[in-house]
Amino acid sequence: MNHFSFKLPTTIEDHKFLVNLHNDPLVLKNITNPKPITLADHQDWWMHIVANQHIQQRFMFLIDSVPAGFVKFYDIDQTNKNCVLGADLHKDFRGRGFAKFMWKMMLEHCFSEEKLNLHRVSLTTASFNTVAQKVYFNLGFIEEGRKVDSLFRDNVFYDEICLYILKEKWENESRTNA
Ligand SMILES: CC(C)(COP(=O)(O)OP(=O)(O)OC[C@H]1O[C@@H](n2cnc3c(N)ncnc32)[C@H](O)[C@@H]1OP(=O)(O)O)[C@@H](O)C(=O)NCCC(=O)NCCS
């Protein structure tokens, strides 16, 4: 049985792990700005994140205390009780069924009354990212629209698919899958 946890990056090794993950070709292909970053870029950006914890939170995802991914909660809106999510797994941990555990912890973090206590979460995913879509639909996310031709990759325009899930649906899904 694996142990899963979230951790704030603190050491230089943590930040190197995050830069390495960000610069992974598959991660870059799936984000709006596909340019690689340097450790200095990342550290400047991280100062901004730390100063704005009320509107965005980002943690490393650990499997048995080993860094395995990065989870992102942004545009946290406590007035309207929603936020936007994103997450990536390091290539060494992909294809082993860990994504659903990472995402279940993220949804727990969003909907738990002791944590963010939100009503709705959403995300966008590239239309070509069939593996990520499988993860999201399996968890109960629902498509609510598309940002048509909003990603330009290798001279081709792709849609981003907009997905959401409400707390009530997540609780029902959790009961069904318990
Ligand atoms: C998206 C990501 C987190 C998914 O994690 P993963 O470990 O690769 O996913 P899994 O191995 O758990 O597979 C997820 C599902 O896709 C299925 N799948 C795997 N490869 C597939 C393929 N080539 N075609 C279709 N389905 C596939 C799996 O069978 C599984 O479905 P199941 O649970 O119903 O069996 C991970 O691939 C990742 O970080 N990728 C790089 C960046 C990225 O895409 N981030 C998300 C941006 S929205």
Exposure letters 56-75 (e unless 16+ CB within 10 A, then b): bbbbbbbbeeebbbbbbbee
Q: Facing residues of 70 across strands? A: 60, 88
| Domain of residue 22, CATH code | 3.40.630.30
Determine the distance from the C-alpha atom of residue 9 to the mean position of all C-alpha atoms in its chain, rounded to a whole number.
15
SS3 label, residue 145:
strand
Domain total of the chain: 1
Structural domain including 157 reads: 4-177
- Which residue minimizes the CA distance to atom 7 of ligand 1? 94
Whether pTM exceeds 0.85: yes
- From ligand 1's centre to the CA of 132, what distance in Å? 5
pLDDT tens, the chain, 178 aa long: 999 999 999 999 999 999 999 999 999 999 999 999 999 999 999 999 999 988 999 999 999 999 999 999 999 999 999 999 999 999 999 999 999 999 999 999 999 999 999 999 999 999 999 999 999 999 999 999 999 999 999 999 999 999 999 999 999 988 887 7
**Please, is 90 exposed, middle or buried when counting C-beta atoms within 10 Å of its C-beta (0-12, 13-18, 19+)?**
buried
Q: Whose CA is nearest to atom 5 of ligand 1?
A: 99
CA 124 to ligand 1: nearest atom: 48
